[in-house]
Amino acid sequence: MKYNSLDRAAESHKVIIMIVLLFGFISFSLNLYTSLPVKNYSLNRESVDGKLVWQKYNCNACHQIYGLGGYLGPDLTNVYSKRDTSFITAYLKNGTTTMPDFNLSSNEIYSLLAYFKSTDNSGSSDPRTFIILQNGTIK
Ligand code: HEC
């Protein structure tokens, strides 16, 4: 097959466009992955215990953590900063008409509070409060 000069010009334009697109894609990806905020936190003994209490009583059936779980009760990811610890303790000790009373021991309540503190430090749950950044990530 023979190419004339017009075909060759069209081919080289395509190559240039591909290079520009590839360069754009790579630099955007690099920028995105190097600028993502990564929170460093570690679970301490108490919060691990609290997570086990959370699982033992299946609190997840009605509540969400990081947006995942049942929807009868509210998301509790940030309950630690939204509410007083005495408010949370009162809920856990007594329940309400819609939230059962699990007869939790004070140790279990203490561990649950530590767990709520760690989820509060490591994530946020209400998408309505998120700010969408220019590169498509959220804050
Ligand atoms: C049967 C469903 C159900 C289960 C299981 C359940 N909850 Fe709840 N919880 C609710 C409902 C519904 C509310 C909201 C009740 C209200 O406002 O009267 C609530 C409220 C709460 C609140 C107060 C939140 C706020 O900001 O007002 C906390 C804290 C809480 N639950 C913790 C727990 C923990 C910890 C467990 C597991 C031990 C648990 N819940 C298990 C239904 C449940």
Extents of the domains making up the chain: 1-35, 45-129
Token pair 């023979």 is found at: 2
Instruction: Report the pLDDT averaged over residues 25-31.
Output: 93
Spatial distance between the Cα atoms of 130 and 44, rounded to a whole number of angstroms = 27
DSSP state string for 70-95: -SSS---TTHHHHS-HHHHHHHHHH-
Spatial distance between the Cα atoms of 69 and 51, rounded to a whole number of angstroms = 14
Structure tokens at 111: 């561990």
Q: What is the pLDDT of residue 75?
A: 95
| Residue 18 reports pLDDT greater than 90 | yes
Regarding the beta carbon of 73 and ligand 1, being less than 6 Å apart is answered yes
Which CATH superfamily hosts domain 45-129? Answer: Cytochrome c-like domain (1.10.760.10)
- The packing angle between helices 45-56 and 106-122, to 10°, is 110
Most informative mutation of 47, 63, 79 for ligand 1 (most atoms within 8 A of CB): 63
Share of the chain above pLDDT 70, in %: 94
133 three-class SS = coil
